[in-house]
Structure 1
């Protein structure tokens, strides 16, 4: 509950404020669509792009407008609901709505077909269209006034991935020492299973980046968020590299190829460097020890190339160097800095 206090405040204040504005300021009766739209905007802003939140609210508004206009002409009933649904889908599609936005268009229209308006009230189509926009704007505003901590959100996603990558690299090194192809295959499967978490990390970081750009309370974090965000692609690449590395090691073990000396030690150095990254990737000045381990791993792999006895073993040592380079990118090094430090000729 401590991690969701902002969401609770956004929903509680946003729904109440949306109702208050629609009822007291605009004089609407039963403005239930205002708090509903506020909830949609807040929930979309908490885990998706703010553009998606706006599209969802727009979908609600379109559904409200289409539904009320059609029902005002043909009335309410079972066959009328079918007609409303068809028209809502057609209009929403022509306006470019899709996914959740189109779903909200249809469900809003259906809800209107089942709700009898208050007798003597103003034009329900106009009032409920305005209610949806009021709620959407209020909900969107609440996500900016009481924003989540973007750095904390990214860090919460990144740290389990870094721990999993470090653990997997250690298991790959152990598999290589024991020439255990099954252990390498298990490491490969674990690396593949990390991909959904990586995709979730990137989605969360995209949303956090927008919060830092748009929410005044988070403007001071924009630079740190950008540094963090720039590292995520390279973390993704490192996870993918670990899959290739595990597959190469498994192939070496199955073929009985003798690994080059100290290759397992080089993989251990990669895992140790990942563990050293700490709790915030935006603090690049704290990465000196991790960078030293990565450069050391690349050095060992480079020296091991001359000892490679097969294509598989050569590909494995090259992959260690590639993984080290991606992690150096994640630590903030530029391409020129990496080329300079990994030039062991």
Structure 2
């Protein structure tokens, strides 16, 4: 039996995707909290609206719960408010129009347009505007059952129940904030270390192609930093609001506070790779100490990636960063050109940004990185 026969999941790929079925199943397994939140919030909100309030068409309660739970990172409180505000406004305008013109094809078109116009005149935007239009449309399209309660008030209560249920489930069963942001940080730091390692290899071997590969890799890390920024916003909100995660607030705040500095470090890495490629294209050789400085940066970033939360490891990494900057500054005396000076400056900038990501205050950088 071949390896491929024994491991069918690993070989099976879905069309137009580089993600294996096994990876997708693993993603589902890790999403158990989301699945449980969806089940409880949608079922619970529907049950409350149906049995506690006696609504016969409580379809919008579970819809509102899903909207509240899948809102953008860090926006759930605002989304619940906008959801209820938009629904209230939409049912008011929609109900008034329907009473005047009735239901039908052209009435739906008119309700959508006029609700949007009135909502914008009242300066509703984003989720509030969307829900105002949706509310008007649903009132125009869905005929209430005979004997059903007032559709406007019913829709408003359903939105409130669903939004609050979704929000409550996010707090009652929150994601592991520290683990989530730590995983995102490790992914980013591992990518940064890989880029710097290729830059160091290019300087050591005088290979322009390796330097340009490093530049390409550095550019490809932008989605990673954007994902990390979204994760930081999301987990910061959860750690602030969910009682189960209050004990993680300090770590989450420290991790989230490092994101901007790591973004700057990635930008420095792109400039560094570009300058190294330019230097090699001009036939220049990097001074030995300049090459060593980049290789020392790699060591420091890998220490960070192994254990960002450990104070001992942070201290070790910080020492390597200071040493990398020192090597780069002293290397300029070996062979000073525009390119080598630029590379040395980028190494120092990278060291400074990573030091700040590790918790070193900006006011202490000059004392740490000044050349003797």
Once structures 1 and 2 are overlaid, which stretch shifts more, 69-78 or 48-57?
48-57
Which residue of the partner structure matches residue 325 of structure 1? Answer: 352
Q: Deviations over 1:202-242 (max 9, x none)?
A: 11101110111111111111111111111111111110100
Look up the match of 1:50.
76
274 and 42 in structure 1: CA distance in 2 versus 1, 3 angstrom threshold? same
Counterpart in 2 of 1:33? 60
Q: What SS does the corresponding residue of 1:31 show, helix, strand or coil?
A: coil
- For 1:33 and 1:49, locate their aligned partners in 2 and report how far apart those are by CA, in whole Å: 20
CA distance in 2: counterparts of 1:5 and 1:69, whole angstroms: 43
How many pairs align? 344
Change (3 A) 1:153 1:88: farther
| Aligned position for 2:302 | 275
Match of 2:142 in 1: 115
How far apart are residue 73 of structure 1 and its match? 2.8
**Alignment partners' CA distance in 2, 1:57 and 1:254:** 60
The answer to whether 1:235 aligns with 2:262 is: yes
Cα distance, 1:177–1:278 mapped onto 2, change above 3 Å: closer
In terms of mean alpha carbon deviation, does 257-266 or 234-243 score higher? Answer: 257-266
- Which has the higher mean CA deviation after the structures are superposed, 183-192 or 108-117? 108-117
Alpha carbons of structure 1 residues 14 and 279: separation in structure 2 relative to 1, 3 Å: farther
Corresponding position: 1:78 with 2:105: yes
Do the aligned partners of 1:88 and 1:105 also contact (CA within 8 Å) in 2? Answer: yes
- What SS does the aligned partner of 2:71 have? helix
Task: Note the residue ranges of structure 1 that are not aligned, 5 or more in a row.
Answer: none
2:279 to 252, 259, 271: 252
Q: Secondary structure at the match of 1:44?
A: coil
Larger deviation: 208-217 or 98-107?
98-107
Q: Structure 1's 105 and 182: CA in aligned 2 closer, same or farther, altered over 3 A? A: farther
Q: Tell me, yes or no, if the aligned pair for 1:213 and 1:222 is still in contact at 8 Å.
A: yes
Q: 1:182 to 1:338 in 2, by over 3 A?
A: same
TM-score by length of 2: 0.86
- Deviation string 1:15-73 (CA, Å, 9 cap, x unpaired) is 1221222222222221111111011111116x452245323454344434433442233
Do the aligned residues in 1 keep the contact of 2:289 with 2:330 (CA within 8 Å)? Answer: no
In 2: Cα distance, 1:322 partner to 1:65 partner = 57
Residue of 31, 42, 61 corresponding to 1:15? 42
Q: Residues 106-255 of structure 1 correspond to what in structure 2 (within 5 A)?
A: 106-255=133-282
- Does the 8 Å CA contact 1:65/1:128 hold for their aligned counterparts? no
Aligned-partner Cα distance in 2 for 1:201–1:92: 34
Q: Kindly indicate whether residue 341 of structure 2 is the aligned counterpart of residue 314 of structure 1.
A: yes
Name the CA distance, whole Å, in 1 between partners of 2:245 and 2:142: 41
Shift of 1:254: 1.4
Indicate yes or no: 2:327 matched with 1:300: yes
